[in-house]
Amino acid sequence: MSKPIIFSGIQPTGRKHLGNYIGAIRQYVEGQERGEPAIFCIVDLHAISVPYDPEELRERVYDTAAILLAAGLDPERCILFRQSDVEQHTELTWLLSAVTSHGDLNRMHQFKEKVGKDRELASAALFYYPVLMAADVLAYRATEVPVGDDQRQHVELMREIARRFNARFGETLVVPELVIPEVGARIMDLQEPERKMSTTGGTEQGTVLVLDEPETIRKKFRSAVTDSGREIARTPNKPGVSNLIDIFSVACEQEQKEVEREFEGSGYGDFKKAVGDAVVTYLEPVQERYRELRPDQAELDRILDLGAEKARKLASPVVAEVRERMGFGRLTLA
């Protein structure tokens, strides 16, 4: 059985939170063992779809690269690059727009959530975000897309775009499969456990950052919202406790049922303390490695440049075939 081609992109921000780490980054590290190749992209082009500071964007790309490397990505075993360094992404975005309808983009939940009442003032880039995301993946004929549960709709559209292109122009693009982790696909805010953990839409006290100081992490878990009663069980009417069980099970590599048995009869206070301690231990190696990597910006550039060179070699023939199928370029007479 052939190995999958894995692709996933991550937003450039140094404020990566526990949900990013559990839901996406740890999948990247696992994916580089299975993928042939495993391709990971820091999506700085996506980042400009909302208001941003240019200097901060540059810095955040380096921050994100350092976090990914600290988490275990190895440039010898995967391809890690900066999206804007590979021009095939933007060209393919425009080409794929021919098989993407306005109605498709209008139905995207994330667009509606991000623009709120300011729909008319939202950037066209934000509206077009899913087409660029489709191009990111389809340019490499990736077979697997490891993402968090919140990206499900975008991947479904990506799959539909590939099918439409193939139906209209001939079999060219691979229809990728969505891969979501069984545990930790959706880590919730510690203060508002009905909402996904987020650095933009979540609460500050309920969002655990990968680079938070140990005592800050422990404090956030001590103040985490739980539920009525004392039972430590993963049930629909206990979103707060269920979220803590999910986090602990990942941090300690235990089944959720094992966690419930281990803390049976314990109070919420003891359980929250245990989860906080487990997360501190879980993140400690990443934080230490990050502090070693981040100051060496020249080395980060070298790694990203090498990755971009590899990415261009993979994406260039795919985009060339898409262009040829769509009727671009000089006709070669037999």
Residue 145 β-bridge partners? 178
pLDDT at 134 over 70: yes
pLDDT at 4 over 70: yes
pLDDT at 241 over 60: yes
Cis peptide leading into residue 37 (ω within 30°)? yes
Give CA separation, 146 vs 31, 54, 181, in Å: 8, 28, 8
Structural domains in the chain, CATH included, are 6-185+297-326 (3.40.50.620), 214-291 (1.10.240.10)
pTM for the whole structure: 0.89
Q: Please say whether the beta carbons of 8 and 147 come within 8 A.
A: yes
* CA gap 167, 9 in Å, rounded: 27
Q: Please say whether the beta carbons of 155 and 147 come within 8 A.
A: yes
Contact partners, residue 152, CB within 8 Å, separation at least 6: 178, 180
Q: How far is CA 55 from the centre of its chain?
A: 23
Q: What is the pLDDT of residues 286-309, one digit of tens each?
A: 999 999 999 999 999 999 999 999
Residue-level pLDDT at 115? 61
Structure tokens at 275: 């989860």
Phi, psi of 197 (to 5 degrees): -65, 135
Q: What is the pLDDT of residues 60-94, one digit of tens each?
A: 999 999 999 999 999 999 999 999 999 999 999 99
